[in-house]
A and B are shown apart, each in its own frame.
Chain A
Amino acid sequence: MFWSKIWLFLLAAAAALAFTVALLAPRPAQRARADDERQRLVVACDVVNIQLKSAARSQIDVAGAFARQPGVVAALAQASTADAIELGSSKAARELVLQTIAGVSGTRPDFAILVDSRGRVLARAGSAGVVDDEYGDTLGGRFLVDDALAGYLRDDLWRIGTRLYRVAGAPVVRGGEYVGAVIVGNAVSKQFAEEVMRPLGATIGFYVKGELAISSSATVLDREVFTEYGKLAQSPADLATDCKSGQPFVATSGKQRMATVIARLPGEARFDDAFFAVYLEETPTQGLLATLDQVRKDDLSLASFPWIPIGLAFLAALALGLVVMALEHDRPVRRLAADAVALAKGQGERLPEERHRGKLGSVARSVNIHVDKLAREARAARRDLDQLLGPADGSGAALDLAPPPPARPVPPPAEFRFQGGAMGGAPELDLAPVAPSAARPAAPPPRPPAVRAKTPAPVPPPAPVAPPPPQALDDDILASLSGARIPAPPPPEPDEDTYFRQVFDEFVAQKARCGEPTAGLTYAKFVDKLRKNKDDLMAKPGTIGVRFAVYVKDGKAALKATPIKDA
């Protein structure tokens, strides 16, 4: 069984290992996926900055082209020399601005503003709701306007109300002098956010002044985003490094968990706490069951799954297990069973212990010990009779009339049980009827329940013991050993005296035939010995009767007692 146990241990270890692997396998994949998502977020964040830069460049180009329009140049040159901006000139300039915006190819600005050299607004024009038609106020002072009036082209990000605007400015030059500037702007709209995110498959939200200005989706992230921005806002690092240095975090929107990265926005809007957040829906944690749920039919196809090696491995494991079991369990048990059957058939006296190892060897040894014990007891009984009746020592005495040696303590037979003896009271004799062994049923009939009498019941006569069939092993053995003539079956208990008388007569006659003296051999003494010997044998478990046989041993008459076993 050693290899069976080893094999069972290996199988259990393999199963535990497989289960552990199955539980652990999704985790590295989950981590790798989370890392990929974070990397994707960082890339998306960088791409947003790149796209914002590209859009700023395009806007500056538009502003520059706008500033070179002759009508714009003329209008601003005239306004710069005037003490005040007139309504008429502003209206004319406004119409001019609208026409110019309409002529822009590509992304048209949402609004445009003409500023004279003093920073005064000559005209505003654009989409409804974005700018009004006010004029004459001073826009100079804004960084972009001042830079444009100084001769620079640049972009900026403005907060107007709760919205963000991407703006660009360009100086207007006439005759070698600066006569004003043109400012064009585009709202950071939902459409713009969607266009920025379209190639990235992520979501973006623009925030300013602690509020969400615009988002590319309906998902709104607030609490965690502002908390993280609070940390980022204190960072002295360059804004351009926010995407790469920022640590993605998880923000929630209802039941959605979003992996998020944020980056500050530059320009004037920076001072209004403007930033953007790029977020992806976080991949749910993949456990074993969730992983199995995602298994597709293709994954189990013969082409993509190693069914054959797995099947072969299974068959190999099964075959090895069966072989080990056959070698260590089935075959030894069959061998022991065959030996036991052979023993039962009398084809041997003992089980061959050397053929059985391990536990089965122990079983065989235990059986053999019991067989040996029975044999020893049989020999002891025979020796007792020989000492009692036979001429074991050659003295010619027909009967040993000497007092018998102290009898060995013998446990009471199964049929005799003393009850209450330990309590000091009178022992109660429980006499179970002894089943006749003549029929030798295949299975012993159930014993009737013992009858307990409060007063000593009359002892029923012992059941007549049928003589064992000739094929009984014990009889065969004893008969083959002695060649003795077996007297008639023992008579029923009431005829025990008759039987003992018959045995006594045969014994006396045999002694006479052997020329042995019979003086001193009395029937009473002979019967006492017989009864004592019978009682000893009857004390053996399974003994239901005793037969006595007279035979000649070494030229002298001898007597053998043979126990009759229960079937």
Chain B
Amino acid sequence: MHARTPRVAAVSLLACAAAASVASGGTVAGKLDLPADLGAPPNLGRAFIPRLDNPLIPVRPLDPRPAMVVVLEPASGELPAGKPTTVTWDLRGESFARPVVAALVGDTIEIRNQGRGAPVLIADGAPQLLPKKPLNPTDRVAFTPTTAGLVDVVDTSTPHLRGRAVVLARGRYAYPDAGGKFEFLDVPAGQWKLRVYYAPRSLGGAATPAGWITGVDEAITVGSRRADVTVKLPPALPVAP
């Protein structure tokens, strides 16, 4: 009994040391620098007459940031597999709280209906992910992607209720705020690559192209100190799968 006590203590100490070494990563913060002129918001279809600019003030320009995910990937090697988590995705009436949500392979994406309707959500192109049935108010439905990629979640009864889930194979992700700022906490020290995934809104019919914004692969060395980065996005936000 007495002989085992020092061994257990030693193992516990090593485990705590190892955990402390991972948790003691740095912070990566930054801002997305949008191109100067992104133009008008996309034409969301038209009815009997074309949309008209209001005569009082200029219309708002396109804001792509809600459709972007900033991803931090290790430059080499693999990250130790983390514990799968559940990503909640709120559905608020006629739209999702976030038009684009991110998750890692193995994570569970849970959709919570906080609206008043009962849409029938499906995963476009991956019918096995979501059962085709109405999602009643306050109800929730979850799915677990097993492969990396983009999952388009669409309401079969409306053309406007669309959400896009970016499933990442590895790395970390963050959402830019209204000002384009983002932050990664507790990033393990080492070489990382920062990328931006852009999944613009689909408009009723076929899904609009989505992917990694080209020319935005930022190499970042993460240490114990905070790393700040400004990501300058190219004009027209070209993407590649």
Contact = CB atoms under 8 A, between A and B. Distances in A.
Contact of B47 (A64, A134, A155): A155
Contacts of B191: none
Interface in A222-267: 266-267
Contacts of B95: 119, 138, 140-141
Interface in A133-185: 134, 137-147, 149-157, 170-171, 173, 176-178
B57 interface: yes
Interface string A48-78: 0100110111001000100000000000000
A19 interface: no
Given A56-B47, A142-B160, A267-B46, A150 B93 contact: no
13 contacts: A49-B48, A53-B48, A55-B48, A137-B115, A142-B94, A143-B44, A151-B59, A151-B60, A153-B52, A153-B53, A155-B48, A157-B47, A271-B159
Contacts of A353: none
Contacts of B96: 141
B48 A143 contact: no
Contacts of B4: none
A411 B56 CA distance: 133
B94 A145 contact: yes
A433 to B, nearest CB: 116
Contact of B94 (A53, A56, A139, A267): A139
Given A143-B45, A151-B53, A156-B47, 10 more contacts: A137-B116, A138-B94, A139-B93, A141-B94, A150-B59, A153-B53, A170-B54, A178-B57, A268-B160, A270-B45
Interface of B: 41, 44-54, 56-60, 92-96, 115-116, 157-161, 203-204
B158 A268 contact: yes
Contact of B160 (A56, A60, A143, A157): A143
Given A173-B54, A268-B160, A60 B44 contact: no
A57 B49 contact: yes
Query: Which of A140, A144, A147, A267 has the most B CB atoms < 10 Å from its CB?
Result: A147
Interface in A272-287: 272
A156 B50 CA distance: 10
Given A138-B93, A141-B161, A150-B41, A173 B47 contact: no
A60 B49 contact: yes
Contacts of A152: 51-54, 59
Contacts of B59: 150-152
A384 B115 CA distance: 142
Interface string A403-420: 000000000000000000
Query: Which of A140, A149, A154, A177 has the most B CB atoms < 10 Å from its CB?
Result: A154
Nearest to B115: A137
B60 A268 contact: no
A154 B54 contact: no
Interface of chain B: mostly helix, strand, loop or mixed: loop
A56 B49 contact: yes
Query: Which of A142, A152, A268 has the most B CB atoms < 10 Å from its CB?
Result: A152
Contact of B46 (A149, A154, A170, A177): A154
A134 B57 CA distance: 31
A146 B45 CA distance: 11
Nearest to A50: B48
B99 to A, nearest CB: 9
Interface string A11-41: 0000000000000000000000000000000
Contacts of B56: 171, 173
Given A147-B44, A151-B53, A141 B60 contact: no
B71 to A, nearest CB: 25
A10 B159 CA distance: 74
Nearest to A171: B54
Nearest to B52: A153
Contacts of A142: 94, 160
A146 B48 contact: no
A419 to B, nearest CB: 111
Nearest to B203: A143
Nearest to B44: A143
Nearest to A173: B56
Contact of B52 (A52, A60, A177): A60
B53 A134 contact: no
A137 B159 contact: no
A142 B116 CA distance: 14
Contacts of B94: 119, 138-142, 145
A138 B59 CA distance: 21
Given A140-B94, A143-B160, A150 B52 contact: no
B136 to A, nearest CB: 14
B16 to A, nearest CB: 41
B48 A268 contact: no
Contacts of B54: 64, 151-153, 170-171, 173
A170 B56 CA distance: 11
Nearest to A54: B48
A266 B51 contact: no
A272 B155 CA distance: 12
B196 to A, nearest CB: 23
